[in-house]
């Protein structure tokens, strides 16, 4: 009899090993395909950026401005569980966008990105932005063949998020701190945030921005164009 | 040869069936244990609430006030990938709290809650709050044996989140719209939010609140005490 819940079903004490084996196989398969994507994008001179954040951190608003203001040809892959809202917003700027709906899924993977890239057919020398599903956990594990990873946190989420979600935050090649226009109305210390960030990601540039007002975006465009 | 990426590895086209079978077994096992938890809590007259939201939506701030102001004996299970920040904050109010760290994991499950409950040993007639990992996707699938599910969205996340994360939002028995003190500084329409919410969750009460200022919390306490 199960010692804790008192039932005769021992199965909920077991199964961890099978799950871990399967996860490793899935991730290895994803990494393999991501390698192909990376090689192919490099061969045609396309850079791609994987944007990862919580839901509502301002990824799409950032991209609406970026594709208009960056001064380079762009296209966008939008990931969401449901709706085409984000692809519609990008297309309204005149830039090509493909929406990927993950259904119950919690992240984009390399298979989804490969299919979206086949549809987008990005021009040589252009930039592809991949807006991941809003989630500070699961996207961390899935290589999408990107040139760089962009972690976006917003000031409304609090200073402790780098320490609470270290697995994703430490993978960022750049970290944007968004919604700084709201700082006057919040109890948020940029110093405490920076200390928390540096504990998990010592080197990524930190760029305070407001996708709504445009504050700080010149630094973001400079980072993308470096 | 793989038609899309040009390699000889067909495996990244396969494996979906195995994953789905394993997921179904894992969820069935979780549901079984959650049923035991639910029966046990009911037998001692304890109600439990599973709080689910994005990272930084204000779950812990809400609980800090709730455990002080509700007027019922409470205890708290805190879920986070890393850190004991949230359990520390609850314990500072004088209320018992257990921190569960999920590591790379993206949600709490019934096994974790069972262990935490064994440690908390909640008093008959008390209320247990379970603060899930900040994630609008994965916690949806995992029954924790709770009496009720509380979905928290904040006005800084935008009006479209119910439609973008419907799988979790539709499971809410009550929906809190937090951070309404920031409404004067945002482009956020409560009407549009309500229309989006009702498309995926027609019946759950919607309670606009500010965990920071206390606005609207009387309605939340009334809902908990109903």
A32 Cβ under 8 Å from any chain B Cβ? yes
With CB atoms and an 8 Å threshold, state whether A33 touches B55.
no
At CB < 8 A and 24+ separation, what contacts does A2-5 make? A4/B114, A4/B115, A4/B118, A5/B33, A5/B36, A5/B37, A5/B40, A5/B114
Name the CATH topology of A46-225: Rossmann fold (3.40.50)
pLDDT at residue A12 tops 50: no
Specify the DSSP element, H or E, that contains B16. helix B16-43
Min CA distance, B136 vs chain A (Å)?
7
How much is the average pLDDT of B221-226? 96
Q: Which residue has the tokens 């990862």?
A: A52
B88 Cβ under 8 Å from any chain A Cβ? no
* C-alpha–C-alpha distance, residues B76 and B96, integer Å: 6
**Over pLDDT 90: what percentage of chain B?**
88
Looking at the whole model, is its pTM more than 0.80?
A: yes
A192 Cβ under 8 Å from any chain B Cβ? no
Per the document, the length of chain B is 226
Least confident of B24-28, B123-127, B157-161: B24-28
Q: Would you list the domain boundaries of chain B? A: 13-225
A42 Cβ under 8 Å from any chain B Cβ? no
pLDDT at residue A22 tops 90: no
What's the pLDDT tens digit per position in B120-131? 999 999 999 999
CB atoms closer than 10 angstroms to residue B21: 10
**Over pLDDT 70: what percentage of chain A?**
92
pLDDT at residue A98 tops 80: yes
What's the pLDDT tens digit per position in B62-103? 999 999 999 999 999 999 999 999 999 999 999 999 999 999
CA-closest candidate to residue B150, choices B172, B128, B171: B172
Name the CATH topology of B13-225: Rossmann fold (3.40.50)
Mean pLDDT, chain B, whole residue set? 93
What residues have CB less than 8 Å from B45, skipping those under 6 apart? Answer: B124, B125
Mean pLDDT, chain A, whole residue set? 93
Q: What is the pLDDT of residue A150?
A: 98
Q: Which residue has the tokens 């992240």?
A: A107
Q: What is the pLDDT of residue B20?
A: 75
How much is the average pLDDT of A89-96? 98
* C-alpha–C-alpha distance, residues B61 and B63, integer Å: 5
So what's the ipTM on this one? 0.90
């Amino acid at each position: 009899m199960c010692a804790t819940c008192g039932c005769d079903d021992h199965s909920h004490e077991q199964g961890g090993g099978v799950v871990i084996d399967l996860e490793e196989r899935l991730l290895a398969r994803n990494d393999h395909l991501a390698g192909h994507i990376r090689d192919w994008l490099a061969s045609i001179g396309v850079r791609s950026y994987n944007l990862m954040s919580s839901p509502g951190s301002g990824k799409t608003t950032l991209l609406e401005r970026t594709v208009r203001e960056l001064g380079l040809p762009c296209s966008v892959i939008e990931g969401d569980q449901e709706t085409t809202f984000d692809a519609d917003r990008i297309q309204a700027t005149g830039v090509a966008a493909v929406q990927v709906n993950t259904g119950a899924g919690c992240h984009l993977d390399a298979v989804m990105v490969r299919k979206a890239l086949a549809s987008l057919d990005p021009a040589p020398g252009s930039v592809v932005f991949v807006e991941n599903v809003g989630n500070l956990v699961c996207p961390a594990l899935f290589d999408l063949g990107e040139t760089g990873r962009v972690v976006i946190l917003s000031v409304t989420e609090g200073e402790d998020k780098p320490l609470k979600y270290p697995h994703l935050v430490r993978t960022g090649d750049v970290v944007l701190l968004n919604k700084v226009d709201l700082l006057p109305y919040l109890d948020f210390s940029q110093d405490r945030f920076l200390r928390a960030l540096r504990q998990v990601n010592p080197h990524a540039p930190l760029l305070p921005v407001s996708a709504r007002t445009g504050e700080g975006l010149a630094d973001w465009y400079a980072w993308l164009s470096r």
